Amino acid sequence: MRPSVLSSLLTCVMLLLPEREARARDATNPSEPGVAPAAATASPFPPAFPGQTNAPAVTSQTRFQVTQVASGFKYPWAIAFLPDRRMLVTEKPTGNLFIVTPEGAKSPPIAGLPPVDGRDQGGLLDVEVAPDFATSRLIYWTYYEPRAAGNGLAVGKGKLKEGAQPRIEALRIIFRMKPTLDSTMHAGGRLVFHPDGTLFVTLGERSILPGRVQARQLSSHFGKTVRINPDGTVPADNPFVGRVGARPEIYSRGHRNVLAAALDGQNRLWEVEMGPLGGDELNLVESGKDYGWPTIGYGREYSGAPIHDSAQGPGMEQPVYFWDPVIAPSGMAIYSGKLFPEWKGNFFIGALAGHALVRLVMKNDRVQGEERLKPAGNARIREVVEGPEGALYLLTDEPNGRLLKMTPR
């Protein structure tokens, strides 16, 4: 069978799976059963401007090689680099956090982290190293926190104490997503430090209807990007500080499930959110703006049912780009390194559905070209980060998940 035919067939199969998005797109269960063929595209609405979807295919001239740094991670989720080039790696369902050397030696799980609700899309998610780690030893992480009446995303911080049994000391929970609701889905969970000293946290809308309807409401954290200080207090210049009934941590609203976030060369925040069928989105996130979910958007329910009356609405932002068919985004890196000069400024996004690493060539904040790289074979790519030397590091979403490194060949 010719590769193009095979890939079309695979695309059809992957489009079909997701009756329950949990199972097919982003669950810990990677099984992707095939079902009957579906339309190649699902969005009932045309794009708002040329190039908003289906950008021309581009091909890298740069050749790369992939080496395995370490393996044996149970559905790993995130990587963060320590100043000495060692890495922190999270395991989603177990709540385990490891230190991994550049040579691949793995520490025992770091002790002292709080328990997680590791079902479905919850668990231990992102990890970030404090900008002043060299002196503070502080790390930050997101996780689904079990609560008396359900669960919710939380942000923990603590000092990393090394030794034969590394551990977290001076544990503090600096943010709790409110209200509490019982859902194991749409956790969001990316952390991004901004050079102004604040910390962005991306939050999902919990998937179930009582959560979804709160995604644009300022009284709820669901479906928001929030911006906090590293001690958990609220920056005075947040957009809704002082507004009656608004949660002051909110920075942007109207998101579905933001799984990827990164700063560009101008320190602007970009995010990619898992949308409905035919509606994964790339957004440039700005203070106080409303990104529309669930009122507007491209795509439809995974059952095929319509969601929106329109893809556009007053006071609501258009995505810079959307994917139809979806990619099921995971992590994201905006390349700034020296190893791959051709890729400078390109956006790299892990794709769970296509088992690919998506490369976007950007120009004037529009997508000029798109490439699907396959550095992990047929594994789902959960995370992509740029290492200190300019290599790209990946995690595969598998029961025996791997930490991979891409370098020029």
Active site residues: 186
Nearer to Ca ion, 182 or 286 (CB): 286
Give the torsion sign (CA, 58, 381, 252, 242): negative
Minimum distance from CB of 77 to Ca ion (Å)? 24
Please identify, using beta-carbon distances, which residue of 11 and 54 lies nearer to Ca ion: 54
Note whether 347 and 359 are within 8 A (CB).
Answer: yes
- Apex CA 406: angle with CA 404 and CA 407, to 5°? 140
Nearer to Ca ion, 291 or 348 (CB): 291
Closest CA to 288 of 244, 255, 250, 318: 250
Q: Which of 167, 112, 119 is nearest to 146 (CA)?
A: 119
**Residue 181 to residue 222: CA distance in whole angstroms:** 10
Please identify, using beta-carbon distances, which residue of 307 and 403 lies nearer to Ca ion.
Answer: 307
Short-list 393, 370, 212, 185, CA closest to 292: 212
Cβ 254 to Ca ion shortest distance, Å: 6
Shortest distance, CB of residue 294 to Ca ion, whole angstroms?
A: 9
C-alpha span between 150 and 147 (Å, rounded): 5
- Residue 184 or 202 having the CB closest to Ca ion: 202
Between 316 and 394, CB nearer to Ca ion:
316
Name residue, tokens 């050397």. 101
Dihedral of the CA atoms 135, 138, 139, 142 (nearest 10)? -150
The overall longest dimension of the chain from CA atoms, in Å, is 62
State in angstroms the smallest separation of the CB of 338 from Ca ion: 34
For 300, residues 6+ apart whose C-beta sits below 8 A from its C-beta are 42, 43, 44, 276, 277, 278, 279, 306, 307
CB of 346 to Ca ion, least distance (A): 23
CB of 259 to Ca ion, least distance (A): 14
Residue 282 in tokens = 């790339």
Minimum Å gap between C-beta 52 and Ca ion is 12
Q: Give the nearer residue to Ca ion in terms of CB position, either 299 or 401.
A: 299
Give me Rg for the CA atoms of the chain.
20
Q: Which residues of the shown chain bind Ca ion in the complex (CB under 5 A)?
A: 291-292
In DSSP terms, which residues pair with 143 in a beta bridge? 124, 154
- Helices and strands counted in the chain (H then E): 4, 23
CB neighbours of residue 93 within 10 Å:
18
Q: Torsion over CA of 131, 359, 121 and 47, rounded to 10 degrees?
A: 120
319, 52 Cβ separation under 8 angstroms: yes
Q: Letter for the amino acid at 252? A: S
Distances (CA, A) of 174 to 200, 232, 259: 12, 4, 20
> d(Cα 26, Cα 45) in Å, to the nearest integer?
25
Give the nearest distance from C-beta 299 to Ca ion in angstroms.
10
Q: Which is nearer to Ca ion, 276 or 292 (CB)?
A: 292
